[in-house]
C-alpha cells in the first residue's frame, strides 16, 4: 500500500483502520486519500479557488470522519463510495467553502445522471452489429452514445437520447455489421449539426489528422511520432484551449503564440546548475545530475537554461578522467547528447551569484570557453552559452586565450550576449533573475509580434499611428498570455505549472522590415530604437496593469518569422517584381527573426561602422536584454578588415567596439514617460518624443567623431 493510502487510513485512537471502499458495482478497492484531494482540487479550479491547503484539510477531515463512523466496527467496515462523497460535501460546507461545495455537488449530480442514463436505458446490445475500437470488438449499445454526449458535450439527457436514437437508426438502415468509433463520432457530429448544437459539437468533436498527412509524415519525418503528437496538440490547443479571437489573430499572422504544439508545458525554465547537483560540485555530482537535467529538458517546450553555471563547471576544470582527458570536456559532450535526445536546447549561463567576477573565476571562465571552442572546432555538438556583453568585451580586450575562444564560438553562433544596467540579470526567453533571487524561474508562454504588419497598417512616417498599432499588438499578446494561463489552470495541465516565479515573453519579429516600411524604404536607426524602447515600456506598463510580469525578448523565433513572411507575401503580393532589387525585402513580405537593422549586403553599401552604429543604437534603447549577433559581427568584421591588416579575432574585436559604442550612447539616455492611452484610431500621440527613453544619438556620434 502506498504512503498516501497508509496515511489516509491510519487511526489515532486505536480503532481499526479503514483500508477498503465499496464501489457502486459492488467491487472493493483500496481507500485512497489522494483521490479525495484530487476531487476537491478539481472543484476549486472550476470556481477559481487557489488555496493550496484546502484539499489536504478536507481529506484529513474526511479520513477522521470515516474512521469514526466505520473504523469502530469489528474488523473494520467497508464504507460505500457515496458515504465518502457525503463526508466531502459536509466538510466543505462546515469550512465555509460554499462555492467549492456547490461545484462538487453539481459534479456529483452530473455523474449520477450519466450513470442513470446508462443503467436505465432500454437499449440492449444489438447482436450482429459490432463496434471496433483500439481494445477490440464490442456489441453496439445506444446508451454508450447517451453517456458520452452527457459527459463530453454536456447535453441534457433527453436531447442526448434523441441524438443517440437518430444515430442508431442510420446505423441499422445502413446494413453495416462492423463500425469503428471514428465512424460513429462522425455520425454523431452530423446529428449535432442538423440540430444546430454548435457548442456541443465543438466539445464532442475529436482531434485528428488527415490520413494523407499521416502517411506523408510516416514516410518522410525522422521522428514521425513526435511530429504527429505535435500536430494533434497544436490542433487541440487552437480548438479547445485558446479563445476564437486569439486564434483568429494567430492564424491571420498578427501574432504568433509560441509552443502551441506543447500546450501542457512552459515555454522555458531556468534553474541554477548547482540545484541539480547532489553533494559538493565535482565530476561525480556533475555526471550524476545529467538524468535530472534530461527530465527537466523534457518538461519545457523551447529551452532549459542552466543558470550560474560557471562555479560548478569550474570545479571540473582540474579534474581528469582517463589519460589526460579533461572531465569538463566529457561533461559538455554528455550535456550536448542529453539536449539532442530531449530535442530541446540546453543553454549554459556562464555567470556566478556575485555581480563581479574574481580573478580566479575569470580564469575558470576562460577555461570553460576554451573547452566549448575545442568542441566546436572538432565539429562536435556544443551547448550554447549566454555571456554578459561587457564581460565578453573585457575578455576580448585583455585576455588572449579568452579572445580566441570567444572568436571561435562567435564564428559558429554558439554565444548569446546579455546586457543590463540594473541588478537584474536577463537570461533570455523572457527570463530575468533579480538581485539576490535564488531558485527556478519559468517563462510560462511566449508571443511573437508581426512588426511589419503594424508598419504597413500605420503607413510611412506616421509614428503616432505606428505606436498605436504596436500597443494593439502588445494587448493581443497579453490577451493570449492571460487566457492561456487561465485555461491551463482550468484544464488541470499540471505539466505547465513548474515551480518558480512565472513571467511571459513578447518577441518583436521583423524589426528590419518594419523600419523600412516606416521610413518609406529607409531603415532609420533612431526610429527602430524608438520602436524597441516603446515596446519594452508597453510590455512592462500594460503587463503590470493586469498583474503580469512581461519582458520584451530579443531571442529570435524562427518559426514565427517564417509564418509572418509567408502570410504577408500572400496578403501583399509584389507587383512588377523586376522593379525591386534585393534590398527591398520588406516590400516583398520578408520578415527577419533577429533584432538587426541591416543585412550583410546592405553593410557593404553603408559601411561596417555605420551598421555598427545602428546596432549600438538599438541595444542602447533597452535597459536589459539578450540578443544573438548573427550577421552583424560577421558583416562588420569583413568590411572593417578591407584595406587593413587582417585581425587575429575580427568578430571579438568588433564586439568590443559595439560594446563601447552602446555604453557611450546609453550614458545620455533619459527616462521614458508614456502619455495616457489613446484609442488606436485616434490622432493623439501615445508618447512624448522629448522624454522617450532613447539615447541622444547625435551627441554620441559627436563624441565618436
- Is residue 282 in some structural domain? yes
List b or e across 333-356, with b for residues whose CB sees 16 or more CB atoms inside 10 angstroms: bebbebbeebebbbbbbbbbbeee
Residues 657 and 692 in one domain: yes
From 144, 172, 204, the end of a domain falls on 204
Q: How far is CA 208 from CA 197, 227, 257, 288, 605, in A?
A: 21, 13, 21, 40, 51
Domain check: are 549 and 491 in the same one? yes
Q: Among 120-134, 218-232, 488-502, 535-549, which stretch is predicted with the lowest mean pLDDT?
A: 120-134
- Compute φ and ψ for 224, nearest 5 degrees: -65, -35
At residue 128, φ and ψ (nearest 5 deg) are 95, -20
pLDDT score of 102: 86
| 451 and 412 in a common domain | no
3-state helix/strand/coil string of 333-380: HHHHHHHHHHCCCEEEECCCCCCCCCHHHHHHHHHHHHHHHHHHHCCC
Separation in Å, CA 697 to CA 294, 664, 665, 671? 46, 9, 6, 15
Alpha-helical (H) ranges within 412-462 are 451-458
Regarding whether 420 and 295 lie in a shared domain, the answer is yes
Cβ-contact 265, 429 below 8 angstroms = no
47-56, 431-440, 555-564: range with lowest mean pLDDT:
47-56
Q: Do 67 and 189 reside in the same domain of the chain? A: no
Query: Both 137 and 47 in a single domain?
Result: no
pLDDT of 138:
76
Contact between 259 and 445 (Cβ < 8 Å):
yes
Determine, yes or no, domain membership for 83.
yes
CA–CA dist 248, 390 (Å, integer): 42
Tell whether pTM > 0.95: no
**Domain endpoint, select from 86, 117, 148:** 117
143 pLDDT above the threshold of 70: yes
Q: Domain containing 74: what range?
A: 3-117
Phi/psi of residue 27, nearest 5 degrees:
-70, 150
Q: Is residue 473 part of a domain?
A: yes
Same domain for 458 and 312: no
Q: Is residue 690 part of a domain?
A: yes
Name the range with the highest mean pLDDT among 4-18, 126-140, 648-662. Answer: 648-662
Count of CB atoms within 10 A of residue 155's CB?
24
DSSP 222: S
Reference 406, options 396, 397, 417, 416; nearest CA is 396
Q: What is the mean pLDDT of the chain?
A: 81
Residue 96 covered by a domain: yes
Q: Which parts of 175-259 fold into alpha helices (H)?
A: 181-194, 198-204, 211-220, 224-236, 244-252
**Cα–Cα distance between 272 and 467 in angstroms, integer?**
38
Asked if residues 255 and 477 have their Cβ atoms less than 8 Å apart, the reply is: yes
Spatial distance between the Cα atoms of 418 and 387, rounded to a whole number of angstroms = 6
The percentage of residues in the chain with a pLDDT greater than 90, rounded to a whole number, is 35
CA–CA–CA angle 109, 110, 112 (5° rounding): 65
DSSP 3-state percent helix, strand, coil across the chain (nearest 5): 55, 15, 30
Q: Exposed, middle or buried: residue 103 (CB in 10 Å: 0-12, 13-18, 19+)?
A: buried
What is the structure's pLDDT at 373? 93
Residue 29 confidence (pLDDT) = 84
Residue 102: inside a domain, yes or no? yes
Per-residue DSSP letter, 556: -
Exposed (0-12), middle (13-18) or buried (19+): which is 545, by Cβ within 10 Å?
A: exposed
Residues pairing with 139 in the sheet = 130
**167 in Cβ contact with 194 (< 8 Å):** no
The rounded distance, in Å, linking the Cα atoms of 579 and 574 is 10
Q: What is the pLDDT of residues 532-542, one digit of tens each?
A: 999 999 999 99
User: Please, what is the Cα angle at 43 between 38 and 47, to 5 degrees?
Assistant: 140
**Quick check: is 564 in a domain?**
yes
User: Does 450 have pLDDT greater than 70?
Assistant: yes
HSE (CB half, 13 Å, CA atoms) of 544?
Answer: 5
C-beta atoms surrounding 172 within 10 Å: 12
Angstrom distances, CA of residue 610 to CA of 79, 525, 597: 81, 10, 11
Q: Looking at residue 289, what is its pLDDT?
A: 94
Structure confidence at residue 131 (pLDDT): 76
Q: Is pLDDT above 70 for 250?
A: yes
Average pLDDT of the segment spanning 221-238 = 86
Query: Rounded to whole angstroms, how far apart are CA atoms 261 and 237?
Result: 8
Query: Which of 204, 219, 242 corresponds to the end of one domain?
Result: 204
Pair 88, 40: CB distance under 8 Å = yes
Structural domains in the chain (count): 4
Which residues are bridge partners to 443 per DSSP?
Answer: 268, 503
pLDDT, tens only, 281-309: 888 899 999 999 999 999 899 999 999 99
Domain check: are 168 and 111 in the same one?
A: no
**237-246 pLDDT, tens digit each:** 888 888 889 9
Give me the residue label for grid cell 510580469.
549
Mean pLDDT, range 94-113, rounded to an integer: 83
In 3D space, the residue among 301, 382, 391, 379 whose CA is nearest the CA of residue 347 turns out to be 382
Do 417 and 340 belong to one domain?
yes
Does one domain contain both 112 and 132?
Answer: no
pLDDT at 405 over 50: yes
559 and 689 housed in the same domain: yes
Cβ neighbourhood burial of 285 (10 Å; 0-12, 13-18, 19+): middle
Task: Name the E strands within 216-282.
Answer: 255-257, 266-272
> Residue 255: inside a domain, yes or no?
no
Burial level of 26, CB count in 10 A (0-12/13-18/19+)? exposed
Same domain (yes/no): 99, 127: no
Please tell me the predicted confidence (pLDDT) of residue 176: 79
**Residue 510: which pLDDT band, with cuts at 50, 70 and 90?**
very high
Of residues 30, 44, 29, 25, the one with CA closest to residue 2: 30
Amino acid at each position: 500500500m502506498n504512503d498516501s493510502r497508509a496515511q489516509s487510513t491510519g487511526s489515532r485512537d486505536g480503532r481499526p483502520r479503514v483500508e477498503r471502499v465499496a464501489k457502486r458495482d459492488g467491487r472493493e478497492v483500496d481507500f485512497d486519500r489522494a483521490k479525495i484531494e484530487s476531487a476537491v482540487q478539481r472543484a476549486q479550479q472550476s470556481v477559481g479557488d487557489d488555496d493550496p491547503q484546502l484539499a489536504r484539510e478536507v481529506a484529513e477531515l474526511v479520513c477522521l470522519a470515516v474512521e469514526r463512523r466505520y473504523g469502530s466496527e469489528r474488523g473494520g467496515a467497508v464504507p460505500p463510495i457515496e458515504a465518502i462523497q457525503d463526508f466531502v460535501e459536509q466538510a466543505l460546507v462546515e469550512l465555509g467553502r460554499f462555492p467549492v461545495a456547490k461545484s462538487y455537488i453539481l459534479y456529483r449530480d452530473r455523474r449520477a445522471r450519466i450513470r442513470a442514463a446508462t443503467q436505465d436505458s432500454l437499449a440492449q446490445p444489438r447482436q450482429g452489429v459490432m463496434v471496433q475500437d483500439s481494445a477490440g470488438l464490442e456489441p453496439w449499445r445506444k446508451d454508450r452514445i447517451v453517456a458520452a454526449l452527457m459527459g463530453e458535450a454536456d447535453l441534457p439527457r433527453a436531447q442526448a437520447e434523441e441524438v443517440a436514437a437518430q444515430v442508431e437508426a442510420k446505423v441499422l438502415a445502413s446494413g453495416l455489421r462492423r463500425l469503428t468509433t471514428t465512424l460513429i463520432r462522425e455520425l454523431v457530429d452530423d446529428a449535432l449539426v442538423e440540430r444546430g448544437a454548435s457548442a456541443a459539437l465543438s466539445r464532442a468533436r475529436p482531434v485528428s489528422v488527415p490520413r494523407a498527412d499521416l502517411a506523408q509524415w510516416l514516410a518522410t519525418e525522422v521522428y514521425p511520432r513526435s511530429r504527429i503528437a505535435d500536430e494533434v496538440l497544436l490542433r487541440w490547443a487552437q480548438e479547445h484551449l485558446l479563445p476564437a479571437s486569439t486564434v483568429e489573430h494567430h492564424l491571420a499572422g498578427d501574432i504568433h503564440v509560441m509552443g502551441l504544439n506543447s500546450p501542457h508545458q512552459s515555454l522555458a525554465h531556468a534553474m541554477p546548475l548547482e540545484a541539480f547537483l547532489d553533494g559538493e560540485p565535482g565530476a561525480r555530482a556533475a555526471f550524476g545530475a545529467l538524468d535530472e537535467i534530461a527530465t527537466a529538458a523534457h518538461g519545457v517546450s523551447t529551452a532549459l537554461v542552466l543558470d550560474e553555471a560557471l562555479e560548478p563547471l569550474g570545479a571540473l576544470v582540474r579534474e581528469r578522467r582517463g589519460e589526460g582527458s579533461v572531465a569538463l570536456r566529457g561533461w559538455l559532450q554528455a550535456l550536448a547528447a542529453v539536449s539532442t535526445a530531449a530535442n530541446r536546447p540546453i543553454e549554459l549561463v556562464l555567470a556566478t551569484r556575485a555581480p563581479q567576477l574574481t580573478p580566479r573565476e575569470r580564469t575558470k571562465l576562460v577555461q570553460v570557453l576554451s573547452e566549448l571552442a575545442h568542441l566546436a572546432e572538432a565539429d562536435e555538438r556544443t551547448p550554447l552559452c549566454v555571456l554578459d556583453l561587457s564581460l565578453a568585451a573585457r575578455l576580448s580586450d585583455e585576455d588572449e586565450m579568452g579572445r580566441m575562444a570567444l572568436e571561435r564560438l562567435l564564428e559558429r553562433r554558439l554565444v548569446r550576449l546579455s546586457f543590463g544596467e540594473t541588478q537584474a540579470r536577463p537570461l533570455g526567453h523572457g527570463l530575468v533573475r533579480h538581485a539576490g533571487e535564488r531558485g527556478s524561474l519559468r517563462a510560462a508562454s511566449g508571443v511573437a509580434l508581426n512588426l511589419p504588419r503594424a508598419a504597413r497598417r500605420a503607413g510611412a512616417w506616421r509614428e503616432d499611428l505606428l505606436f498605436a498599432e504596436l500597443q494593439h499588438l502588445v494587448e493581443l499578446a497579453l490577451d493570449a498570455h492571460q487566457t492561456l494561463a487561465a485555461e491551463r489552470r482550468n484544464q488541470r495541465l499540471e505539466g505547465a505549472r513548474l515551480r518558480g516565479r512565472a513571467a511571459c515573453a513578447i518577441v518583436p519579429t521583423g524589426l528590419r522590415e518594419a523600419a523600412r516600411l516606416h521610413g518609406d524604404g529607409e531603415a532609420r536607426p533612431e526610429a527602430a530604437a524608438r520602436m524597441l524602447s516603446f515596446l519594452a515600456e508597453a510590455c512592462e506598463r500594460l503587463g503590470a496593469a493586469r498583474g503580469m510580469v512581461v519582458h520584451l525578448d530579443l531571442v529570435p523565433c524562427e518559426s514565427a518569422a517564417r509564418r509572418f513572411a509567408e502570410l504577408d507575401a500572400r496578403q501583399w503580393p509584389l507587383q512588377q517584381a523586376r522593379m525591386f532589387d534585393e534590398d527591398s525585402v520588406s516590400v516583398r513580405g520578408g520578415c527577419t527573426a533577429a533584432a538587426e537593422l541591416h543585412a550583410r549586403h546592405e553593410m557593404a553599401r553603408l559601411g561596417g561602422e555605420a551598421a555598427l552604429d545602428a546596432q549600438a543604437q538599438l541595444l542602447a534603447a533597452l535597459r536589459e536584454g539578450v540578443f544573438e549577433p548573427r550577421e552583424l559581427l560577421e558583416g562588420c568584421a569583413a568590411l572593417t578588415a578591407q584595406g587593413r591588416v587582417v585581425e587575429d579575432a575580427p568578430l571579438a574585436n568588433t564586439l568590443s567596439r559595439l560594446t563601447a559604442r552602446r555604453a557611450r550612447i546609453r550614458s545620455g539616455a533619459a527616462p521614458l514617460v508614456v502619455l495616457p492611452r489613446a484609442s488606436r484610431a485616434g490622432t493623439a500621440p501615445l508618447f512624448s518624443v522629448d522624454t522617450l527613453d532613447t539615447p541622444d544619438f547625435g551627441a554620441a556620434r559627436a563624441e565618436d567623431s
